[in-house]
Structure 1
């Protein structure tokens, strides 16, 4: 009897200890650690393997899901991340119609994930209701059992039965006991926060109704004895700030996707202009409430310079916890199988990984509320630097030196430097590989070096996901590394692995975890052409390509096909990474279009690309096949900025959301069915419901085309637009936008039949330029901020990045603003 009482008292005491929360909010809404009252500042990612498409992706890769969780949480720890959002599709996959919790594999994996994160001191935000169909992108499965199947998203906030179902589910999942930790979720100490529902339908016109809904869910959570800090979404509609202020929740949750979502290809252009400011975080209505970021990412962007700039702005806005969406599992990362528009893995996206590590330090080292000005003044902040030109983010502190791309910056303090993480080379590490590496100081003369595999970029990762399309391949190649640090000056040949180095000598070596994953052989050799499509006669020509295989090729050659027949073979030189390069003087060539091949000698055979045949141009049996192509032109040959060679799917345009209804599409014109681009807008009249100006614009990236000419030596005289107006539209704007967001435009007249319109470059004046694509959730200005300022800087063609065509209400009388449209066949620069 006494033994029974003692056991129960012990369990009760243990439960009290388990239920002790680690954080609290003070009177100002600041989240603080209870142990020392210091401010909380946490950074990491969403991790979605237990549910939805990531759950299925693991099966496509035949992975052991629990092993995958452990592998990926090790990556979180290796990157010094300490935040995790548990985005859980319980409303679709873990309840019945009435919101009763279902015990199944999804829940078991959530429990496992919580336990693995807890082991590594990673702190969590629980979001148990997602509101988006768990069957995306396949949409062919019918495994959804949950209440979301019966209650549409827009009914969840006001339908009484739907609210009771949500209350029931929240109570049950928080009282669910995790078999891996022995604790109920409400008592898991490292779950710091609960966000009731992900991106709910918001009704800012009914603030009392929304307050009632939020407080109902709050009461359900508190009824379980859960004392965790609670949060509700504001960025789905910023008009909800008053409801959050009046509700009982401790804070608001925010998101940011500056490049929109699911563009379907890698975005080009200066992304720093899109992450310059997030003014909505400073809304006075949110004063006294804590703020966290539940999702953000530099979508459709593989480069490593965006994350620190975004977190810099989060800190200005008071954010204390930020998790990007989402972390790609190690085993699915080669195909980017999880989420089309996002792509992040420590091994397979090395530059973004270092950028994410730097962002975590921004969260820790930059004070809340600190303001560093706007672009470009804010490119250097504290110990941090971001650079679009260098595709670089950088942390240069006394103890840490991190860089996401090759840098010439010298470490601030070599004697106190203890941690290095990088991609490429720097003044302290010269490395010919393409993967991420770490150096951690153990003593004055001893360092631990961790080298991850080379990464081959085989395809654009942002196309539609497909389990059979490999976008990145890891390669375990022998590489040279030169390390130059106090007490350690050495040159060594490294393979992926962990090395202990002391006084320039190798002390020990061990293999990386999951090494076998990096050694799957390539099925075939691949070549990625990185050569321009146009060269100017009389100037040096550089041909560049990357050659991917399981080993270094014996030789790579360029075969230039001559006109009308014959060829010239030119050996290519190996560079860092997988690059091969040939600098060629072809002054003897006439101005014309030319074709060429790359030949890769593998040892067993010589393959000719792009067709991948074994038939070389200098052999008697060569036959016609696919080639690469370029034009050799004079400095004054018209330069095409937009034409039939450009896909309309890669052209950005104004979206229709609380703004004029805009359409953009590809059309065929005339009897010859010439491809062209049509921009139409139903009504440019002012409307009180619009959140953007009365404008419709399409914007096309031209930075790669401009780079084909030496614009410092020759300047264009005219922009030639071949176009015509629709429905009597007689005017449009042509705008050239530079990499800093300054616009230089002119109004041009349209006829009702196609014609060539010449716009003198001398007539271009500072003009508002549309910042496209428009971000989600509508944080950014519609116009590039720089284009709205007064500036006298003349257009510098060497940094021109976009050409835009706009239909704008200011062009037309108020009685003539409906059904405006323009069809553009091509745009050229004339010299």
Structure 2
């Protein structure tokens, strides 16, 4: 293209020589677009066409934007950065760079009006507003489009107490803000001033900025009848915004208050907004089991209403709450497109400075450095959202796990994109690229046929020219605590280590003795691969085939929305070495058992030992195999594993000194004076021993339990014998919301046991029945048991229980293929309650992984006593 252009005009050699750097830069920008960062119109606004489709002016192409919420200028995030001594501008620069690396091209946030207004709605020119201006400027530089929600109605405290709030939302809560005259006036005043605010850094008015493509009036409003008050409020807000001269689309939330949906559908807004939390929020621990049925579809109740179907729709917030498995975003993006959405933004991306502790929103966790696989799944989901056609339909799960070059696998914990030019994966994969010679962009964690890597961080490969690639390597991230349990800035949940890890590249045209030159600031590494393998520390490198010169490329050379030398990564956590391990609930007797552990912060030369002891019996010291620098395993021999109790320790030996885990104590358990009592243990059980699925006395922190749609709740009580039991209760009539379907349960228990069954895999096929110790009070509804498999097939059986604690046996042969209830309950409440997947007629118990106990509605009760179901334990026998 450029040769044709140059040959068509007369150019002197001197001018051509002067133009070469510019031509090279343009070539790099054109050929080397950063993965997933589609080129968007720089100045074009959006409009809504007669069919209700959001389009770009000029090109008339459909808008399809995917990204995140991010809150650094406000509330807890602002305070936490300052508490840690982190400059907010630097934090924003770092995070926006990572968002660009992840292909994000959409940003949304509900502005904390409570921090930038007074009680009359006057805009305050303060630090929060200035930082929002700064963030907008940085997003624009990375070609990221913006939707703002000016009114949040939130206090600024969570997870702390509210503090130093000055705005109208501090005195007018959601339930009164729309029908209190002074509150309405304050909001009109604020909207006018906010839209007319001139950005300190860009010089543009908010209402004129082409990169702020739309506004959502307010965040998650709470309304009740009568609808006339709602209609009047919306009309006044829209009128206040239009009076400023603003002409782009105005959106409004219709998912939060369905009781007044007619008022919103009849309003003068241009489109509607939704959210999606398919697994609920704040479960207090990581959810396990197959989550893909939760996101199989997003049916909208207003789909056939012409007042709705003729307007565009956005997803302002979505998240796979309390789930780290990197399979949800890809499927959610596909379901969004099938439902006709043109914008979707995750809530919320964790700032780099806070992500080590996940304190901003405990139930959310997403950051490129600290959750690399999940972050790359967002990159892949963005490609899904932008490539799948609006309204395109797909078969139901599990028939929809591969489409258009995308693949998702729950069993492998893998999301994947494999197109001729792009190859992205969230974990080790055997998939081969579709067209290796055409590849331009690769990103992954773990290993693939083109990149074998033992580290745990993400890496990116972008082709700069034939035989030359930019390689970005993030440091190792190791989970050391459950990130969805109670968090604190004093308690890291993920640690970072800057290890030098071997990487083997097998990219077409690169060869086996390619050169590597560091290009990021402070990194002077240069080397040559041996047998296509080279050890690399975190950083950015130019990788070149033998004979290829890279001197023309500098750290400042542009590459799409970034520069070649840009690199952002957190420093090493600086903590002592740690061993992370969770013991099995049971170990099978008479068979060797493999003990695996994560070793963080140890050097490659450190040795790791397993001290295994049959209680009051033999003790063995076993060397642990270092599978990688951060993983180790050892096999306990069968002769040590006769029925009884296995106790064990892991000893890390560094420079001749021993440190023992759990506890990180000096010395070894084999020392005569080793005093600490901490150890790991697991019962060694015979093949006929029951497998516990739920124990009320021990499993409170690993199960989900509660009410459904306000119909009930859960508690723990003690029985007459002193045993702890989970109590599921039916709520009083006044507190009961209408169930989604007449047969909806009022309360539930969900227990994941896939890991326990895997430890007994050899005898899993011998289990014949589910055994409950439970009771059901007079007036309580029927009880159902549901066992779900790894492929989401559900098998259902009813159980009869009396008013006294008793042991009830339910043969596995009585379970019939049916539907599981999607628990924890999704939000919004109009989403599907149940899911039915195909499966064999008989329950394949070896594939089972989760148990549901459902308390169905009973007769309406009067008085203070509530019907209940008490569960002491459930096991397979």
Query: Which residue number in structure 2 is paired with residue 251 of structure 1?
Result: 271
Q: Secondary structure at the match of 1:378?
A: coil
**Aligned CA distance change for structure 1 residues 805 and 582 (closer, same or farther; 3 Å):** same
Whether the 8 Å contact between 1:685 and 1:817 is mirrored in structure 2 is no
The answer to whether structure 1 residue 493 and structure 2 residue 535 are counterparts is yes
Q: Secondary structure at the match of 2:79?
A: helix
Query: Which residue number in structure 1 is paired with residue 808 of structure 2?
Result: 757
Whether the 8 Å contact between 1:725 and 1:750 is mirrored in structure 2 is yes
Q: Secondary structure at the match of 2:50?
A: coil
**Aligned CA distance change for structure 1 residues 245 and 750 (closer, same or farther; 3 Å):** closer
Between the aligned partners of 1:812 and 1:777, the Cα distance in structure 2 is 27
2:728 alignment partner, one of 672, 676, 679: 679
2:848 alignment partner, one of 781, 800, 822: 800
Between the aligned partners of 2:732 and 2:164, the Cα distance in structure 1 is 43
- Name the count of aligned residue pairs: 802
What RMSD over aligned residues (CA atoms) do the two structures have, in Å? 2.6
The answer to whether structure 1 residue 271 and structure 2 residue 322 are counterparts is no
List per-residue Cα deviations over 1:321-346 (Å, max 9, x = no partner).
11101111111111112111111111
| TM-score (structure 2 length as normaliser) | 0.87
The answer to whether structure 1 residue 458 and structure 2 residue 511 are counterparts is no
Whether the 8 Å contact between 1:711 and 1:798 is mirrored in structure 2 is no
List per-residue Cα deviations over 1:659-703 (Å, max 9, x = no partner).
42x1211111224x2111111114699989333444232221111
Q: Which runs of 5+ in 1 are unaligned?
A: 1-17
Between the aligned partners of 1:242 and 1:704, the Cα distance in structure 2 is 48
**Aligned CA distance change for structure 1 residues 520 and 688 (closer, same or farther; 3 Å):** closer
The answer to whether structure 1 residue 718 and structure 2 residue 760 are counterparts is no
Whether the 8 Å contact between 1:421 and 1:436 is mirrored in structure 2 is yes
2:186 alignment partner, one of 165, 174, 190: 165
Query: Which residue number in structure 2 is paired with residue 742 of structure 1?
Result: 793
Q: How does 1:498-517 map to 2 (within 5 A)?
A: 498-503=540-545, 517=570
Q: How does 1:97-246 map to 2 (within 5 A)?
A: 97-139=119-161, 141-203=162-224, 205-238=225-258, 240-246=260-266
The answer to whether structure 1 residue 51 and structure 2 residue 74 are counterparts is yes
* Bigger Cα displacement from structure 2, 130-139 vs 168-177: 130-139
Between the aligned partners of 1:623 and 1:687, the Cα distance in structure 2 is 55
Query: Which residue number in structure 2 is paired with residue 35 of structure 1?
Result: 58
Q: Secondary structure at the match of 2:765?
A: coil
Cα shift at 1:562: 2.9
Cα shift at 1:25: 1.1
Query: Which residue number in structure 2 is paired with residue 771 of structure 1?
Result: 822
List per-residue Cα deviations over 1:558-578 (Å, max 9, x = no partner).
000233145210000111351
* Bigger Cα displacement from structure 2, 122-131 vs 817-826: 817-826
Whether the 8 Å contact between 2:691 and 2:875 is mirrored in structure 1 is yes
Cα shift at 1:622: 2.9
Q: How does 1:354-433 map to 2 (within 5 A)?
A: 354-433=376-455
Between the aligned partners of 1:281 and 1:345, the Cα distance in structure 2 is 33
Query: Which residue number in structure 1 is paired with residue 717 of structure 2?
Result: 667
Query: Which residue number in structure 1 is paired with residue 514 of structure 2?
Result: none
Whether the 8 Å contact between 1:686 and 1:694 is mirrored in structure 2 is no
Cα shift at 1:79: 1.6
Whether the 8 Å contact between 1:496 and 1:512 is mirrored in structure 2 is no
**Aligned CA distance change for structure 1 residues 712 and 634 (closer, same or farther; 3 Å):** closer
Q: Which runs of 5+ in 2 are unaligned?
A: 1-40, 512-531, 556-563
Cα shift at 1:732: 2.6
Between the aligned partners of 1:597 and 1:488, the Cα distance in structure 2 is 45
**Aligned CA distance change for structure 1 residues 734 and 505 (closer, same or farther; 3 Å):** farther
Cα shift at 1:656: 4.8
**Aligned CA distance change for structure 1 residues 380 and 267 (closer, same or farther; 3 Å):** same
The answer to whether structure 1 residue 620 and structure 2 residue 667 are counterparts is no
Query: Which residue number in structure 2 is paired with residue 352 of structure 1?
Result: 374
List per-residue Cα deviations over 1:294-345 (Å, max 9, x = no partner).
1001111122111010000111111111110111111111111211111111
Whether the 8 Å contact between 2:467 and 2:544 is mirrored in structure 1 is yes
Q: How does 1:8-27 map to 2 (within 5 A)?
A: 22-27=45-50
Between the aligned partners of 1:777 and 1:607, the Cα distance in structure 2 is 50
Whether the 8 Å contact between 1:648 and 1:665 is mirrored in structure 2 is no
Query: Which residue number in structure 1 is paired with residue 17 of structure 2?
Result: none
**Aligned CA distance change for structure 1 residues 645 and 26 (closer, same or farther; 3 Å):** same
Between the aligned partners of 1:466 and 1:73, the Cα distance in structure 2 is 24
Q: Secondary structure at the match of 1:358?
A: helix
List per-residue Cα deviations over 1:393-434 (Å, max 9, x = no partner).
101111100001111111111111100000110111110000
Q: Secondary structure at the match of 2:455?
A: coil
The answer to whether structure 1 residue 521 and structure 2 residue 569 are counterparts is no
Whether the 8 Å contact between 2:254 and 2:274 is mirrored in structure 1 is yes
Cα shift at 1:713: 5.9
List per-residue Cα deviations over 1:228-256 (Å, max 9, x = no partner).
21100012134555434322211111100
Cα shift at 1:634: 1.9
Between the aligned partners of 2:268 and 2:823, the Cα distance in structure 1 is 38
List per-residue Cα deviations over 1:492-511 (Å, max 9, x = no partner).
11111111111158958979
Between the aligned partners of 2:168 and 2:140, the Cα distance in structure 1 is 30
Cα shift at 1:589: 3.3
Q: Secondary structure at the match of 2:649?
A: strand
1:689 alignment partner, one of 735, 738, 743: 738
Whether the 8 Å contact between 1:20 and 1:187 is mirrored in structure 2 is no
Between the aligned partners of 1:88 and 1:640, the Cα distance in structure 2 is 48
Whether the 8 Å contact between 2:44 and 2:58 is mirrored in structure 1 is no
The answer to whether structure 1 residue 700 and structure 2 residue 751 are counterparts is yes
Whether the 8 Å contact between 2:319 and 2:346 is mirrored in structure 1 is yes
List per-residue Cα deviations over 1:162-220 (Å, max 9, x = no partner).
211111000011111111111111111110011110001133x5444323222211111
**Aligned CA distance change for structure 1 residues 670 and 245 (closer, same or farther; 3 Å):** closer
Q: Secondary structure at the match of 1:186?
A: coil
Whether the 8 Å contact between 1:543 and 1:582 is mirrored in structure 2 is yes
1:335 alignment partner, one of 332, 357, 361: 357
Q: Secondary structure at the match of 1:179?
A: coil
Between the aligned partners of 1:712 and 1:817, the Cα distance in structure 2 is 47
Whether the 8 Å contact between 2:540 and 2:566 is mirrored in structure 1 is no
2:313 alignment partner, one of 260, 283, 291: 291
Q: How does 1:434-445 map to 2 (within 5 A)?
A: 434-445=456-467
Between the aligned partners of 2:796 and 2:281, the Cα distance in structure 1 is 28
Between the aligned partners of 2:420 and 2:52, the Cα distance in structure 1 is 32
Cα shift at 1:487: 0.5
Between the aligned partners of 1:560 and 1:504, the Cα distance in structure 2 is 50
Q: Secondary structure at the match of 1:663?
A: strand
Between the aligned partners of 1:183 and 1:142, the Cα distance in structure 2 is 31
Query: Which residue number in structure 2 is paired with residue 260 of structure 1?
Result: 280
Query: Which residue number in structure 1 is paired with residue 83 of structure 2?
Result: 60
List per-residue Cα deviations over 1:17-39 (Å, max 9, x = no partner).
x9986111111111111131111
Cα shift at 1:739: 3.0
**Aligned CA distance change for structure 1 residues 516 and 681 (closer, same or farther; 3 Å):** closer
* Bigger Cα displacement from structure 2, 158-167 vs 24-33: 158-167
Between the aligned partners of 1:536 and 1:65, the Cα distance in structure 2 is 53
Between the aligned partners of 1:40 and 1:762, the Cα distance in structure 2 is 52
**Aligned CA distance change for structure 1 residues 277 and 504 (closer, same or farther; 3 Å):** farther
Cα shift at 1:389: 0.5
Between the aligned partners of 2:142 and 2:42, the Cα distance in structure 1 is 19
Q: Secondary structure at the match of 1:575?
A: strand
**Aligned CA distance change for structure 1 residues 520 and 764 (closer, same or farther; 3 Å):** closer
List per-residue Cα deviations over 1:507-548 (Å, max 9, x = no partner).
5897975667323411x2211114423222233311000111
Q: Secondary structure at the match of 1:103?
A: coil
Query: Which residue number in structure 2 is paired with residue 564 of structure 1?
Result: 616
**Aligned CA distance change for structure 1 residues 776 and 72 (closer, same or farther; 3 Å):** same
Cα shift at 1:47: 1.1
Query: Which residue number in structure 1 is paired with residue 110 of structure 2?
Result: 87
Query: Which residue number in structure 1 is paired with residue 868 of structure 2?
Result: 821
Cα shift at 1:805: 2.1
